[in-house]
Amino acid sequence: MSLDFLLEIGSEEIPDWMIPGALQHLAREFTGLCSTARLQGEGFQVETDATPRRLVLRAAGLIPRQADREEWIPGPAKSADLASPAVTGFARKHGVDPASLESRSDGKNERWGLRKQIPGAEAAEVLAKGLPPLISGIPWPKTMYWTGKGGARFIRPVRWLVAILGDRVVPFEFAGVSSGALTQGHRRLGASNISVTIADHETRLRENFVILKAADRRARIRNGIEQLGVSVKPDEKLLDTLVYITEYPACILGSFDRQYLSLPREVLVTVMRHHQKYFSVENSHGELEPNFVAVMNTADDPEGWVRKGNERVLRARFNDARFFWDVDQQKTMAQRIPLLANVTFQAKLGSYLDKTKRVAALVRELGGDDHALRAAELAKTDLTTEMVKEFTDLQGVIGGLYAKAQDEPEPVWRAIYEHYKPLSMEDAIPVTAAGRLLSLADKIDTLRGCFEIGLAPTGSKDPFALRRAAQGVVKILVEGRLAIPLRRLIGDSKPLEEFFLDRLRHYFREVRGFRYDEVNAVLAAGFDLLSDVEARLIALSQVRPTADFEPLAASFKRIENILKQASFSEAGPVDETLLEAGPETDLYTSFTAVRDRVHALGDYAPALSEIASLRPAVDLFFDKVLVNAPETRVRQNRLTLLYHLRTEFSTIADFSEIVTA
């Protein structure tokens, strides 16, 4: 026989973004509890679900009672007589007759001892003990206490607990709340103190306007939008949020006055999306329509109150935005430059005016044209505008739009607009040349400055988002094919070089999907021009699967070891007169021929194929020729040959880094 189990942690509204992580933890820890306590029976499984007010775990296949166990308790050595004090004492201590003792070997000696029967505990008992620590152990980003100082901590106050095993309540207490079989419906549409069983829990909730499954709520929102007959800007993240801030979601269509469409689309979308959690509505050309879709946490809006309320709020927000726009136009971007002296970038690194000057100098140094330079001077001035104070996420974008409105040339306003890009690894790099250069200079300035004053990120702490900045630099250099050596940007700072190497590895492996040893091999051969690193990596990954390549890589590793053992690090030319006829001369001839062809090619993939074609000659060499020749001059000459072979062909990739089967 096996039992089902239901746990519902009833809470006040939990922040939406924390819920999925909490559920994962709950499922994992509950499975662990059942495994350690030997409660997992046939078909054991665990599933979780949640709304903002409840975390629910359901399990099937629990054993009602742990199996009984037998434990061997060793006593005195067998050499002791059954009647001896040692043996009788041991028996008395365990409450048994000495005659009932048995003997077993503990591997070395025979010992008296007894088999003790340990009855299994009831599953309900085990759970009653295990659940409170499991609940309090859910890791939340920031917890609170509510029953008084020193009381239980959770993300929000826990108000009810349902815990049922089979048809019985598992009795326990957490934060002064006793477990039971009563749940709560939707705050206004549902009943309170609803009696449930494992079988009818979900249905009873549904009757009381709580859709327990996130997937069902998601589908309900999707269908709701569809039924409204509009096309919304797809937004999975917003959908995730809405799924977890509602128990009974329903969609309504609202509208706003067409006149607001004259405000920048970016502002309209930000207000709708970030401030109000609405989906914006688009026509078939992808242009904004004066409509929005709001998701309510209630069944419907028969009298239109909710729609009217939301429309009113949106109107006020749009009016604010228009007010900010108008106020901000009273000063041009250029007039705002001196105001940047009052905006601190970082205490030790000065104001944004200081930063602006550094970035502009760097843009010039990197060969930026007048447009790029102008963009650099204006880029940060939007930090002084009302609009950016209100919509911080739109920094840069607002600056670009204002520059455009103030008739700055297109390359200038575009560069400002996109100079924070890429915002993530998925985000595209700036489109314009000036934008790329400005973005690069801005990020490099931040990185250099922060590293100089000892603000390099440590562990998970990265308050200045330096990892993202460096990642952005890498992405722009590679994907923008900028002919700027990395060294020129980071100077000779060792920590910064290490930091960038990490970012490079991350980018090429995680974002571009290259194999880690290929990345290591190519980076070991140098990483100054990142577009060149990319070209070498592509070539290497193409040649990698060919038959000759990996064996040749293995030979290179062998060469590397031989040279290392011989401490051989510098060499003159190969003395051809010392070469032995046969495999040694053959290798030398193939080597020089391949070298000349590789030099002539200049293209990495064919060059690597050429190098791979050396494999038979190398194999035969190692097979037939003794590198460690007795005669010193011959030995040195052979090492010299290997040295040149390694050095000559390690400029594309260091083959000894390739992990071979």
Partner 1 sequence: MDFYQQTIFKLKQYWAERGAVIQEPYDVEVGAGTMAPETFLRVLGPKPYRVAYVQPSRRPADGRYGENPNRLYKHQQLQVILKPTPDDVIEQYLGSLEAIGIDLRKHDIKFEEDNWESPTLGAWGIGWQVMLDGLEITQFTYFQQCGGVDLDLVPAEITYGLERLCAFLQGVESVYDIEWVKGVRYHDVRFAEEQQFSVYNFEMADVGTLWTLFDLHEKECQRLLDAFPKYGEKHRFPVLPTYDHVLKCSNLFNLLDSRGAISVTERVGVIGRVRKLAVGTAQVWMSQQFPAEAAQ
C-beta of residue 131 within 8 angstroms of C-beta of residue 172 = yes
558 binds partner 1 (CB under 8 A): no
C-beta of residue 154 within 8 angstroms of C-beta of residue 176 = no
Of 147 and 203, which has the nearer Cβ to partner 1?
147
- Tell me the window of 7-15, 19-27, 231-239, 614-622 that interacts with partner 1 (CB under 8 A): 7-15
What is the nearest approach in angstroms of partner 1 to the Cβ of residue 77?
56
Q: Which residues contact 107 (CB under 8 A, 6 or more apart)?
A: none
310 binds partner 1 (CB under 8 A): yes
10-29 mask for partner 1 (x: CB under 8 A)?
--xx-xx-------------
What is the nearest approach in angstroms of partner 1 to the Cβ of residue 28?
24
User: Residue 638: which of 597, 601, 588, 590 has the closest Cα?
Assistant: 588
Q: Which residues contact 363 (CB under 8 A, 6 or more apart)?
A: 372, 373, 376, 437, 438, 441
On the question of a cis peptide bond just before residue 422, with omega within 30 degrees of 0, the verdict is: yes
Among 296, 470, 486, 504, binds partner 1 (CB under 8 A): 296
User: Residue 62: which of 135, 166, 132 has the closest Cα?
Assistant: 166
605 binds partner 1 (CB under 8 A): no
- Main-chain dihedrals φ then ψ at residue 292, nearest 5 degrees: -150, 160
CA-derived radius of gyration, the chain: 36
Number of helices (H) and strands (E) in the chain: give both, helices first: 25, 20
Of 251 and 611, which has the nearer Cβ to partner 1?
251
Beta bridge partners of 463: none
DSSP string, 317-342: HHHHHHHHHHHHTTS-HHHHGGGGGG
What is the nearest approach in angstroms of partner 1 to the Cβ of residue 149?
5
What is the nearest approach in angstroms of partner 1 to the Cβ of residue 188?
5
The amino acid that residue 208 corresponds to is N
Of 72 and 323, which has the nearer Cβ to partner 1?
323
C-beta of residue 619 within 8 angstroms of C-beta of residue 551 = yes
What is the nearest approach in angstroms of partner 1 to the Cβ of residue 17?
8
Among 344, 424, 561, 589, binds partner 1 (CB under 8 A): 344
On the question of a cis peptide bond just before residue 606, with omega within 30 degrees of 0, the verdict is: no
Among 302, 459, 463, 573, binds partner 1 (CB under 8 A): 302
Residues 153, 135: Cα–Cα separation, whole Å: 10
* CA 501, chain centre distance (Å): 19
What is the nearest approach in angstroms of partner 1 to the Cβ of residue 348?
10
The amino acid that residue 389 corresponds to is K
Among 187, 364, 512, 595, binds partner 1 (CB under 8 A): 187
517 binds partner 1 (CB under 8 A): no
3-state secondary structure of 11: strand
Of 182 and 313, which has the nearer Cβ to partner 1?
313
State which of positions 226-245 bind partner 1 (CB under 8 A). 245
- Distances in Å between the alpha carbon of 390 and those of 326, 344, 434? 14, 18, 27
- Tell me the window of 9-17, 23-31, 370-378, 488-496 that interacts with partner 1 (CB under 8 A): 9-17
What is the nearest approach in angstroms of partner 1 to the Cβ of residue 245?
6
Of 267 and 574, which has the nearer Cβ to partner 1?
267
Among 149, 237, 461, 494, binds partner 1 (CB under 8 A): 149
- Distances in Å between the alpha carbon of 460 and those of 21, 59, 452, 464, 471? 18, 35, 20, 12, 16
297 binds partner 1 (CB under 8 A): yes
* Total of residues contacting partner 1 (CB under 8 A): 45
C-beta of residue 476 within 8 angstroms of C-beta of residue 469 = no
Among 316, 428, 483, 600, binds partner 1 (CB under 8 A): 316
347 binds partner 1 (CB under 8 A): yes
Residues 417, 413: Cα–Cα separation, whole Å: 6
Of 66 and 351, which has the nearer Cβ to partner 1?
351
314 binds partner 1 (CB under 8 A): yes
Of 279 and 514, which has the nearer Cβ to partner 1?
279
Of 36 and 255, which has the nearer Cβ to partner 1?
255
State which of positions 156-175 bind partner 1 (CB under 8 A). 156-157, 159
- Tell me the window of 148-156, 447-455, 604-612, 647-655 that interacts with partner 1 (CB under 8 A): 148-156
What is the nearest approach in angstroms of partner 1 to the Cβ of residue 379?
18
Among 86, 230, 261, 343, binds partner 1 (CB under 8 A): 343
- Tell me the window of 147-155, 361-369, 403-411, 433-441 that interacts with partner 1 (CB under 8 A): 147-155
State which of positions 249-278 bind partner 1 (CB under 8 A). 276
State which of positions 98-137 bind partner 1 (CB under 8 A). none
- Distances in Å between the alpha carbon of 272 and those of 310, 316, 323? 10, 12, 17
Between 494-506 and 516-524, two packed helices, what is the crossing angle to 10 degrees?
140
Residues 394, 428: Cα–Cα separation, whole Å: 16
Joined tokens for residue 539: 């070539």
320 binds partner 1 (CB under 8 A): yes
Residues 419, 398: Cα–Cα separation, whole Å: 11
Joined tokens for residue 1: 């026989």
189 binds partner 1 (CB under 8 A): yes
The amino acid that residue 595 corresponds to is R
First to last CA, the chain: 50
9 binds partner 1 (CB under 8 A): no
Among 44, 146, 568, 622, binds partner 1 (CB under 8 A): 146
Residues 76, 114: Cα–Cα separation, whole Å: 11
What is the nearest approach in angstroms of partner 1 to the Cβ of residue 612?
58
73 binds partner 1 (CB under 8 A): no
Among 36, 118, 145, 647, binds partner 1 (CB under 8 A): 145
65-78 core/surface letters (b: 16 or more CB in 10 A; e: else) = bbeeeeeeeebbeb
Q: Which residues bind partner 1 (CB under 8 A)?
A: 12-13, 15-16, 52, 142, 144-149, 156-157, 159, 187-189, 245-246, 276, 294, 296-298, 301-303, 305-306, 308-310, 312-316, 319-320, 323, 342-344, 347
